[in-house]
Amino acid sequence: MLIKSSSNKDAQSNASPMQRNKSIQNYKLGLFTILSNPKTAAFVASLFAAAMPAHPTYVVSFTSIFLMLLITICWYAIVAFLFSMDQMKKMYKKASIWIERMAGIFFIGFGFKLAMSD
């Protein structure tokens, strides 16, 4: 959606101030939702706790933070782009039950592996 709208300069120049304000409000709402989601922070913290060495060097620590930031930005950009397409929304709606089941199996497996490790 962002890429589509940025390429259409005529639509941007003809947008009313009310439409621009609505876009800004939607952006702020999305940003607040992502930043206030404790589930994401808990998942990332548990992933780092399981995958990082006990005493990482500064290079490893900063590289990990940089990579997480880069992965997060790329992930949300891809999701926003894909779900701005009607066809993708329809496909996801049909497949969502199986996607959720597979994600559940993955997380149970990861939790089991974590529980069984030293």
What pLDDT is recorded for position 37? Answer: 80
Task: Report domain extents, the chain.
Answer: 86-118
- pLDDT by residue (tens digit) across 16-42? 777 777 878 888 888 888 778 888 778
With a cut of 60, say whether residue 1 has pLDDT above it: no
Q: What percent of the chain has pLDDT over 70?
A: 86
With a cut of 70, say whether residue 64 has pLDDT above it: yes
Structure tokens at 53: 């060495």
What pLDDT is recorded for position 106? Answer: 95
Structure tokens at 80: 């926003």
DSSP 103: H
CA angle 110, 60, 114 (to 5 degrees): 15
What pLDDT is recorded for position 15? Answer: 65
What confidence tier does 59 reach under pLDDT thresholds 50, 70, 90? very high
